[in-house]
Structure 1
Amino acid sequence: MKVLVIAPNIDAKDVGEAFVAYKWAAALSERVDLTVLAFQRAGREDLKTQLPKARVITWPEPAWAGRHERLNAMMKPAWPAFASHVRDWMRAALVRGERFDISHQLMPQAARYASPLRHFDIPYVIGPLGGALDTPAPFREEAASAPLFTRLRALDRYRFRHDPWLRSTYTGAACILGVAPYVQDVLQDVPLRRFEPVLELGIDNVAPVVRRQTKLGRLKVLHVGRGVRTKGLRDVVRAMERLQDMPGVTLTSAGAGEEIALCKAEAERLGVADRVSFLGKVPRETVEDLYRTHDVFCFPSFREPAGGVLYEAMRHGLPVITARRGGPAWIIDDQSGLRLPVTTPEAYAGDIASALRHLANDPFLRQQLGQGARDKVLREGLWHKKAESLLDLYSSVLADQKKTALLL
């Protein structure tokens, strides 16, 4: 199968979307005749070297695009330049007589970028798309400190209804992939030909099995994530106050950001600071040690499109407490964790406390859920299995195209 993949940033040494795009491209290059179009960032390893089994075409990423990493990650200001490069290259390639069975825009993950693939008569796939989740109304006041560019997400729904370029991108796609089923609801104003939930995350392997402590009433709880209100750390701190009668339950936080200072103050105010450790930003090796040495992963992020840290915890066999909302509601099932309704901050903290109390008093359930988490990522999350599933999807999409052509 001849496959064309486009993504503005693909890099094995990066994080976030660029790293995920690399893992997809590397896995696909083992199985198809793959052509990759991407930016090359100055000072980074040549993408041709990173993907030796693919044909790689790159253009220099504009220097100004990388100067503000957070803004670049959120808004992709160089996307118009990248889309223009892709259009020009594809036009020239088609004139040369090149043909592709299918094309795929892997990234950006946000559903707000009109695709250059819509201009060509090649079946194309977009995604996995994520984002576009709103903050539940009862939590908005506490999350009001978010940067302006993150609040611009409120414009997404308007654009899905009225932006002709964005709408033609999605209506023309042979298939839209979403990181979880909720994405189909986000795009409800756009008539899609086909939608499939495909988690963009994957793992190379699971971690060795660790024998965790089984004493009743003892629980080492871990939260890993950026220090922003929506990641739910403040809710876990408030839950700890409801567990004053269980001094053996402790919380460790790994992550940096504006929310951490507020959570520290909350822990002091609630009288639980002696049972909560805030480590700040720590090296990758330290995070892996934390997964190995803790009993439960509590990540009640209530505006989470997917949640890479969930897979990290699951590959270590940690049971998970998370939100019954967005990506976590789909990633975690009843065999791998406890999913909690997102209602009000007060009720949410109470539900988290109840879940922690339940797991602290039931070591056998912790073991069952931890094994279920490990089994789930082995079954669904290994990169080679994800690539094979994607190839099956490509074949199904092409079969749909042939059936449609015959009917016409």
Structure 2
Amino acid sequence: MVNVKLLMSAYACAPDKGSEAGIGWSWVNGMADLGHDVTVLTHTRNRSEIETAPVRPNLRFEYVSPSTLSGKVKGQLGVFAQYFSWQAEALATARKSGLFDVVHHVTWGSLQGGSHLWKLGYPFVFGPVGGGQTMPPTFYTIVQGDLRLERLRTAVTRLMPWFPPARATFRRANLVLAANTETGELAKRMGAQHIEYMADTAMQPHLLHPPEARQSKELFEVLWVGRLLHRKAVLLAIDVMERLDDGFRLTIYGDGPDGPALAHRIQHSLARHRIDWKGQVPWGEVMVAYRSSDAFLFTSARDTMGSQVFEAMGSGLPVVTMNHQGVGTHVPDAAGIKVPVTNPGQVAHDLAQALKVLRDDSERWQAAAQSAFDSVQSHLPEKRLEQMDRLYRGLRVKS
């Protein structure tokens, strides 16, 4: 089988990193591992880390710098100024880099940022991309901090179909990989013709741990994991616990800007004796918690997906969450219980009822645990790469 000559755009790309840089590194190396001839456009600042890592001979990097002028813009605006400038420079570099079968933009996975590389005229893939999801307005009442940025983000997202650079990216893409249904629907409104759904994060195989029969014990252990950001809505988890009896215990792992608000909320909660906030701990401790808990509670009001959801599923934990965004798209109904998105009070009630069902019905719990474990394996890196390989070859045949 003839391999694909592939150009990949990975603004963030570096070994041994999380977030966007880790995603970029995983994609470019995965495609090289499949034998494709891969050229990567990435930011010059990634060069020192990339050049100290072992690299396959069929993987080549082109280092691109944004304009000096863009670096003079400060703050968050400066971050985007540099990104847009880098994209223009990346296009110019790509035009001198040879001929390709397929072009694929992988990072940043930014709906708003788009890409210029469709202008090269080759079959063009964009994503996985999220960002089409917005916070339900009813949840503005329970999140902490200044909501002006959240409202601004919602307004910008709704205006995206009229933003020329992003609209051009979606209209000209031969394939858009949407990380959730909301982003896919927005991509359609922006002119995307071919959309596939793929999470922006993968399940790492070494974290898989098959579920075991739930042991009879005094407490039903509920786990919450994540960064304490306002959009994660961790305070909703406290509301849920206040609707449950003394047979439930909640353990929270993570820290962040909402930490003080969480501490205050726990201190004044009638359920405080059943809530244990661990803060930021070594990752190994979190992995032990996945394997010793009974259910995973995911409360995010706005999230592309959440890698911790896949990690929980990989340990056979049923997921209890709202039915929206990434979890609505990628967590099967059988892998837990997803409740409708209404208002915080009703959602807290429904999540509490869902946890009661899982505690009181051992057969349903076991079926959900097995479904979670089985279904998350479709998100292993090798499965994503195989899917992407098929899509690349299909695009090359059509071109």
Same fold (TM over 0.5): yes
Aligned-residue CA RMSD (Å): 2.8
- Cα pair distance change 1:281/1:310, threshold 3 Å: same
User: What TM-score does the superposition give when structure 2 sets the normalisation length?
Assistant: 0.89
Moved more, 361-370 or 319-328: 361-370
Report what 1:368 is aligned to: 367
* 1:135 paired residue number: 135
**Structure 2 letter corresponding to 1:336:** A
Contact conserved, 2:321 with 2:339, CA < 8 A, in 1? Answer: yes
Q: Distance in 2 between matches of 1:62 and 1:220?
A: 52
Structure 1 residue 289: deviation in Å?
1.7
> Within 5 A, what are the aligned runs for 1:274-289?
274-289=273-288
Residues 70, 85 of structure 2: 8 Å contact kept: no
Q: Which moved more, 1:213-222 or 1:306-315?
A: 213-222
> Are 2:213 and 1:209 aligned?
no
Look up the equivalent residue of 1:107 and give its one-letter code: T
2:180 aligned residue: 180
Counterpart-to-counterpart distance in 2, 1:65 and 1:258: 29
Cross-structure match for 1:317: 316
User: Any idea what SS the aligned residue of 1:128 has?
Assistant: strand
The 5-angstrom pairing of residues 69-108 of structure 1 reads 76-93=80-97, 98-108=98-108
Q: How does 1:212-291 map to 2 (within 5 A)?
A: 213-215=214-216, 218-243=219-244, 246-291=245-290
- Aligned match of 2:390 in 373, 389, 392? 392
Q: Which moved more, 1:142-151 or 1:183-192?
A: 142-151
One-letter code of the match for 1:13? D
Deviations 1:270-296 (A, max 9, x none): 311111011112222222122122111
1:12 to 12, 15, 21: 15
Whole-Å separation in 1 of the counterparts to 2:253 and 2:361: 25
2:142 and 2:344 in contact (8 A); partners too = no
State the identity as a percent: 25
* SS of residue matched to 1:4: strand
- For residues 16 and 80 of structure 2, the distance between their equivalents in structure 1, rounded to whole angstroms, comes to 19
- Equivalent residue number for residue 335 of structure 1: 334
Match of 2:192 in 1: 192
Whole-angstrom distance in 2 between the partners of 1:365 and 1:158: 39
> 1:150: how far off?
5.0
Rounded to whole Å, the distance in 2 between the matches of 1:147 and 1:14 is 30
Q: Which amino acid aligns with 1:109?
A: G
Unaligned runs of 5+ in 1: 403-408
Q: C-alpha deviations, 1:63-96, integer Å up to 9, x for none?
A: 9999xxx959x95442123213312211222xxx
For residues 265 and 62 of structure 2, what CA distance do their matches in structure 1 show? 51
CA distance in 2, matches of 1:202, 1:277: 29
Secondary structure of the corresponding residue to residue 334 of structure 2 = coil
Aligned residues of 1:242 and 1:353 also touching (Cα < 8 A): yes
Return closer, same or farther for 1:274/1:23 CA change in 2, 3 Å cut-off: same
Give the 3-state SS of the residue equivalent to 1:5 in structure 2. Answer: strand
1:120-149 per-residue CA deviation (whole Å, 9 max, x = no partner) reads 111111111102322112111333625755
Read off the aligned partner of 1:394 and give its amino acid letter: Y
One-letter amino acid of the counterpart of residue 17, structure 2: D
Per the normalisation by structure 1, the TM-score is: 0.88
Q: Separation in 1 of the partners of 2:38 and 2:137? A: 45
1:144/1:298 CA distance change after superposition, 3 Å: closer
1:226-250 deviation digits (Å, cap 9, x = unpaired):
112332321121111111xx32310
The alignment partner of 2:391 has SS state of helix
What is the CA-CA distance between 1:170 and the residue it aligns to?
A: 1.3
- Aligned-pair distance for 1:251? 0.4
Q: Distance in 2 between matches of 1:381 and 1:216?
A: 32
CA 1:284–1:146: 2 relative to 1, 3 Å: farther
**Given the alignment, which residue of 21, 29, 32 partners 2:32?**
29
Matched AA of 1:86:
A
In structure 2, stretches of 5+ residues that fail to align are: none
Residues 1:160 and 1:288: Cα distance change in structure 2 (over 3 Å)? same
3-state DSSP of counterpart to 1:12? coil
Q: Pick from 52, 56, 65: which aligns with 2:61?
A: 56
The answer to whether the Cα contact below 8 Å between 2:67 and 2:86 also exists between their aligned partners in 1 is: no
* Alpha carbons 1:42, 1:60 under 8 Å: kept: no
